[in-house]
Amino acid sequence: MENLLVTGGCGFMGSDFIRYLLTESDFNGRVINLDTLTYAGNPENLNGMDERFSDRYFFVKADICDPKALDRVFEEFSIDSVCHFAAETHVDRSIMGPSAFIRTNIEGTFNLLESVRSRLDKISLFHHISTDEVYGSLGEKGYFTEDTPYNPSSPYSASKAASDHLVSAYNRTYHLPITISNCSNNYGPYQFPEKLIPLMILNAIEGKPLPVYGTGKNIRDWIYVKDHSRAVWAIMKKGEKGGKYHIGGKYEMRNIDVVEMICDLLDSIKVKKDSAPRRNLITFVEDRKGHDFRYAMDFTKLENELGWTPAESFETGLKKTIDWYLNHNDWVQRVKSGEYRNWIKTHYGG
């Protein structure tokens, strides 16, 4: 892996992965970050990387739904490996308007696979980033294993399920050297504030209502984003070709407990102006349609085969995340005001 194409590298998890590759991992090749910069893509998430790693980090603004642009990038940078993060990712948006999800997550993945298939002799790995949501919902007990049948509930998870199937099919049919990882809920710095944890942190800081869907008893497993980046790199380096690996945080929480923990941590750092506890801001709102009750990952395969385990506990990870949002008010304000879009327009057009 000398010329690694990372798609969606200006998003939350892709940018963390690129930062990890360049600053902490043993990867010593070039990273080519291809991202079309949707509302969720922000080059500021990788500030300083192009200067610090001018001979190893390259950014190309391009859409994975544009096969010609993909071919140009594969040729120009002699791409020999791919790590595919790019996707539409927010479940609520997929319920309101599924078409962008079908386009990017299914057609875009298909285009990438075709680019790889047409130069199979040059490609050593296509790693596909996926989600626990492809399996649907669990009850109170049990875990998803790598053999659990797919049963997606939302347009988002159905589109990710389709992309997983395409990647597996290209391995079986054309012998593409692939690996797939399915992971639970990530949290950490630079997450776009429409997802539960950053939304609650920023609303709680500003004293705004904290909208909890339904009863708040739905359960998610939480993993700190750096742990995810480490796991992906371990799978890319040592995972079995054609193999699928689960990644999890071993930290299941009810949504209401997550929100209350955020409130209490923030109260302990900075008392609200009116000194009322932030828990008072919690507001139960209409439930998400088709809301999966619980996700939980069995990732013993990854632990046993590759020796990976999550390093961060939810308490330490959440504390770090809250500190990050408190200390990056410039980033927060540029994202919330939409100012980051103006910057993108000025620098990249469109």
Q: Tell me how far CA of residue 217 lies from CA of 251, 256, 257, 258, 259, in angstroms.
A: 15, 6, 8, 10, 11
The alpha helices in the chain, defined as continuous H runs, are 12-23, 49-52, 67-76, 91-96, 99-101, 109-117, 155-174, 196-206, 225-238, 255-269, 300-306, 314-327, 329-337, 339-348
Q: 189 is in the binding site of which of ligand DAU, ligand NAD, none (Cβ under 5 to 8 A by kind)? A: none
The 153-192 contact track toward ligand NAD, x by CB under 6 A, reads -------x----------------------x-xx-----x
Residue of 161, 114, 132 whose CA lies nearest to 245: 132
Residue 157 sits at φ, ψ, to 5 deg, of -70, -30
Residues in the chain, how many? 350
Q: Does 299 bind ligand NAD (CB under 6 A)?
A: no
Cβ atoms within 10 Å, residue 269: 12
Judged by beta carbon distances under 5 to 8 A according to partner kind, the member of ligand DAU, ligand NAD, none in contact with residue 33 is: none
Count of C-beta atoms within a 10 Å radius of residue 338: 9
Chosen residue from 3, 111, 131, 218 binding ligand NAD by CB under 6 A: 131
Binds ligand DAU (CB under 6 A): choice among 185, 225, 227, 251: 185
Cα 108–24–39 angle (5° rounding)? 35
In whole angstroms, the minimum distance from the beta carbon of 211 to ligand NAD comes to 19
Residue 34 CB, nearest distance to ligand NAD (Å)? 6
CB 15 within 8 A of CB 86: no
Select 251 or 295, whichever has its Cβ closest to ligand DAU. Answer: 295
Among this protein's residues, is 133 annotated catalytic? yes
Name the residue nearer to ligand DAU (CB basis): 3 or 45. 45
Tell me which of 64, 219, 261, 322 binds ligand NAD, using CB under 6 A. Answer: 64
| Residue 41 interacting partner from ligand NAD, ligand DAU, none (CB closer than 5 to 8 Å by kind) | ligand NAD
Give the contact letters, 285-314, x = binds to ligand DAU (CB under 6 A), - = no.
Answer: ---x------x-------------------
Helix, strand, coil shares of the chain as percentages rounded to 5? Answer: 45, 20, 35
Residue 150 falls in the annotated catalytic set: no
Our finding on whether 263 is near ligand DAU (CB under 6 A) is: no
Phi, then psi, of 295 in degrees rounded to 5 = -125, 140
Contact 84, 106 (CB under 8 A): no
Residue 36 touches which member of ligand NAD, ligand DAU, none, C-beta under 5-8 Å by kind: ligand NAD
- Of 50-58, 104-112, 169-177, 207-215, the segment contacting ligand DAU by CB under 6 A is 207-215
Catalytic-labelled residue, pool 133, 164, 260, 292: 133
Is residue 130 helix, strand or coil? Answer: strand
How large is the C-alpha radius of gyration of the chain?
A: 20
Q: 13 vs 235, which CB is nearer to ligand NAD? A: 13
Report the interface residues with ligand NAD, using CB under 6 A: 7-8, 10-14, 35-38, 40-41, 63-65, 85-89, 104, 108, 129, 131, 160, 183, 185-186, 192
Report the interface residues with ligand DAU, using CB under 6 A: 89-91, 131-133, 184-185, 195-196, 199, 211-213, 218, 220, 255, 288, 295
